Structure 1
């Protein structure tokens, strides 16, 4: 017994010693005083309007960026900090083993090597706003040290730039291409010389996407220029929209939305012009199959000789439990083509658009400050963004669609969408096609441009689209046509003149187009005979009811829930053929689930489709790949679809015939991203589900008249009578 107690005592002391050492070796926060004092160098006021939206007024651009950093941190510091931790490759130190893959990817992609080379080459004014934004975050952190990770603090301008280098390739699907490497069920078909890919053909593909639409004055009933900004993003998390209005005496006057960690407006408008972003997904990733020397696995075969890999080491600090962290190290091999991934099926080297790119912030800053079409296009000529469409409009009545991308300068005669042989150096590209090679539609004769994640060869309702045959297959331009694109061209295209009311009304269209993949495949399936085993059962009744569906996703529709659930596998297949058996299985499951939760296969869609925020749960119209985009599947344990992505921040902008601007907007929830006790946690949700917009305030006087609080970050806030009464 005595020996047992002695053993337990020794183990206890050992564990206690380990924890003591672990706590003592954890990084600690520095003295916060200098970060508070640094705030005195900035001259900025923040005005929160009745919706809690920050209107930031700085003396200089860097003052405004500082104010944005502080205000955004007030509303969403935890998300911003997680973004910074991920960008630094330190997320696993706080989140544990599951985050180690992200930390490894950051180092594998060479993010910080790129920043080390590119940061000092950025213009001083661009570095100034990155560093000022970081100072705003640091001030908030200094005032709230209990919320701060020592692995993230202090934030730096380099963190901001690195975030763009890391995240922008993900928008065209770079991460998904990497994921396919580790899926052994996907065949790794290798391209052959002289084998061309299929040329562009109109077809449907169904991603979570976005839409931007612009109408020129001659197409407008009131002679106005219209712009719809309608990105579809997750409603929460690191790429959820945050609304702000930015002003400085140096001419920075943007209203719109941004992401956590971004010191500019990503899409929105100034007094002169505006733009909407939508995702495009050309083939911008190339994967090469390497032959490894069987006698030396540090060599690969190329051009008739063995070549040594370059090597570097990734180091991941991983939280185990409590204060315990473990450092994991892993070698990274680098071939002439790019960094290498080793899988069960071999070694693959990867090259991608945006690799080593650090100019994204400078590009976006130039867009924010542009005052006319020429300045906007001059920024586009930088080709600093790996991808992303831009739908443009301005006070002069110009409209345009830019299918922006960094198109690799590849040789023809290969199907670049397949895996490539790694033994031929001529297949390695290191430059991009010039700006003039990119598809764009500027001031078409019909006065309408749009994009809803469709090809650039369908950008207007006339004949001014770029022609697919003018762009070589090696550019890898995608070929999908969404339901939303079909609806836009039908709704807007049928109108000789589009009124302001119609421009807004069409955005909230709730139907699937009869020619969409969803409608065509469902129609085919519903045309088959009813299975004999269904005769006289609830499935027969549900089948007949679904046949009567008008393809609307209005919240009062009694067939929409059954229809959307039955369409789910067609939606997920992204344009690929779905068998009748799979559709039937989805239908049967939908009937069973609806009967279980609602005692009917025909509940109103609003009973099922919900917009939920904390204690607020509201019925909402719309669905997947609908212009009123709502993505909520699959059904949860309560038998509901909770809106998770799609329509989020929506903005409508117009310039009248005199060039005077006005705009309206709505956020899916509200400004207070993380604080459920805030009045702004869900104060816009009701307007959002009612498909209503609120005015955007641009002047300091208007912001003050609607404000609840005016304050200077780092100084005592002034509470107005309005906020005191909240």
Structure 2
């Protein structure tokens, strides 16, 4: 069949998907037919329909976050709690330093390197500083309320329910969380393609002592980096197709999304409908532990994401002071690296204390996996610059999409927040517009 006819058939056969999904089921549920959890002055109504999908109704953003956190805990408490152990830098304390994390929040190959990085983020108050940045460069009040409510809902579920899942039943590491923990999870997701990709090399970086090798010639390093970071070698990706009204039977837009994300573990999507009457009514998938919908639709617009081809990190080759490998030159002038000392508790052993070295560009890194060694020599070191290390705006982007009424609103949200760390957006609306 010619490609043109195949696309027309796909558009017509897929039309029912958008027609049904765009007509959201009424979410104003009678509490007697669902749950009405409350705590700390917050509450929500949660009604479960086919396949256990929660429909959450609340009067404001804090209450919506409460219902979201409660329902996610009810569905995935052990996976969520495991992620919060990662974010607290306590994996080595509970699971041992040499075991491997599940890979959902970073590329760290061992618990110890994961802990050293996330404990360093916590000790340096990285996320707290970003939270002080006013919107739109920083998070909005609505998102902060969602995250505050999410933590309260998760904690309320923990306080009132007995965990039966053997993965974390009676586990000491299942503990209440704070709004800061929820925001730190958003930060970790934002830097997955940057600092999160180099955690082993960041936490292992130490200045040379004694006789050192000259290292790899800079030109060879640049070529190796180009090969490693080439989009031709990417191991992540998704599919999505948006059709405008001229290619569909009823003149409305059509979106087919196929995000390539895991079905299990901490990097999976979690499905829900979230409603604040008169303000918000959206259905879709949130990244587990997130307070906003990542991919979804409302009555007017549907959107999805694919992994962007852009490389979300820069490597800076540093010229060092020959007398001190922790001093680098900026426009010919010496600048001292910032020394961060981080201690991590270890199961069955004494705490491990390591030093990390940071520059104006980001942390010194000695590798990006086995494919790209970046040796720290007497004359050269490498710093990893992650532009998303100052980006807490992804939840605001998701909230803006959730409230959008057209593809024009999608574009306005993107221009206002600049919040998507490593994905493209594809959308279609009920007026027949498509967007990439």
- Tell me the CA shift for residue 398 of structure 1: 1.2
* 2:160 alignment partner, one of 129, 143, 153: 143
Aligned to 2:402: 368
The residue that corresponds to 1:332 in the other structure is 356
Q: Report the equivalent of 2:181.
A: 159
Residues 75-107 of structure 1, C-alpha deviation per residue, up to 9 Å, x if partnerless? 100111122222232232222203121122224
Structure-1 separation of matches of 2:82 and 2:231:
38
For the residue of structure 2 that corresponds to 1:97, the secondary structure is coil
- Secondary structure in structure 2 of the residue aligned to 1:275: strand
What secondary structure does 1:319 align onto? Answer: coil
1:300–1:306 contact (8 Å) kept in structure 2:
yes
Whether the 8 Å contact between 2:337 and 2:359 is mirrored in structure 1 is yes
- Alpha-carbon distance, 1:206 to partner: 6.2
**Counterparts of residues 152-231 of structure 1 (less than 5 Å):** 153-170=175-192, 172=193, 175-176=196-197, 190=218, 207-231=235-259
Change (3 A) 1:48 1:258: same
The 2-side partners of 1:395 and 1:227 are apart by 10
Per-residue CA distance 1:257-286 (angstroms, 9 max, x = gap): 112210111101011211001111312312
Partner residue in 1 for 2:62: 62
> Does the CA contact (< 8 Å) of 1:68 and 1:263 recur in 2?
yes
Aligned residue for 2:388, secondary structure, equals coil
Residues 85-104 of structure 1 aligned to structure 2 (within 5 Å): 85-98=85-98, 99-104=111-116
Instruction: Please tell me whether residue 50 in structure 1 is matched to residue 83 in structure 2.
Output: no
The number of equivalent residue pairs is 352
Please give the root-mean-square deviation of Cα atoms over the aligned residues, in Å.
3.2
| Partners of 1:353 and 1:312 in 2: CA distance | 20
C-alpha change, 1:178 and 1:89, in structure 2 (3 Å) is closer
Map 1:253-652 → 2, pairs under 5 A: 253-320=281-348, 326-342=350-366, 345-346=375-376, 347-381=381-415, 382-401=417-436
Following the alignment from structure 2 to structure 1, what is the Cα–Cα distance between the partners of residues 290 and 305? 15
Quote the residue 2:3 is aligned against: none
Distance 1:205 1:151, change over 3 A: closer
Give, in angstroms, the shift of residue 342 of structure 1.
4.6
Query: Aligned partners of 1:374, 1:356: CA distance in 2, in Å?
Result: 26
TM-score with structure 1 length normalisation?
Answer: 0.45
Shift of 1:360: 2.0
Equivalent residues of 2:251, 2:431 under 8 A apart = no
Deviation, 1:391, is 0.3
Q: Could you say if the C-alpha distance between residues 255 and 96 of structure 1 is closer, same or farther in structure 2, counting changes exceeding 3 Å? A: same
- Say if 1:62 and 1:132, in contact at 8 Å, map to a contact too: yes
Aligned match of 1:130: 147
Q: 1:387 to 1:334 in 2, by over 3 A?
A: same
1:254, 1:270 within 8 Å by CA — same for their partners in 2? yes
In the aligned structure 2, how far is the partner of 1:246 from the partner of 1:307? 50
CA 1:189 to 1:142, structure 2 compared with 1: closer, same or farther past 3 Å? farther
Are the aligned partners of 2:87 and 2:185 in contact in 1 as well (CA < 8 Å)? Answer: yes
The higher radius of gyration belongs to 1
Contact 1:114–1:357, Cα closer than 8 Å, also in 2: no
State the alpha-carbon separation in 1 of the partners of residues 250 and 401 from structure 2.
28
Q: What secondary structure does 2:392 align onto?
A: coil
Higher relative contact order (CA 8 A, sep 6+): 2
Matched, 1:234 2:262: yes
Cα distance in 2, alignment partners of residues 203 and 336 from structure 1: 27
Q: CA deviation at 1:40?
A: 5.7
Report the Cα distance in structure 1 between the residues aligned to 2:386 and 2:351, rounded to whole angstroms. Answer: 29
Task: Look up the match of 1:558.
Answer: none
Cα distance in 2 between the residues matched to 1:95 and 1:235: 24
Give me the whole-angstrom Cα distance separating, in 2, the residues matched to 1:366 and 1:148. 39
Distance 1:291 1:125 in 2: 44
Deviation at residue 44 of structure 1 after TM alignment: 1.6
Q: Please state how far the C-alpha of 1:288 moved relative to its aligned partner.
A: 2.3
Contact residue 111 and residue 356 of structure 1 kept, 8 A: no
Query: Could you tell which deviates more after superposition, 301-310 or 377-386?
Result: 301-310
SS in 2 for 1:223: coil
Q: How far apart are residue 141 of structure 1 and its match?
A: 1.3
Report the more deviating stretch, 51-60 or 108-117. 108-117
Q: Distance in 2 between matches of 1:336 and 1:215?
A: 45
For 1:177 and 1:188, the matched residues in 2 are separated by: 18
Distance 1:235 1:52 in 2: 16
- Residue 126 of structure 1 and its aligned partner are, at CA, apart by 1.6
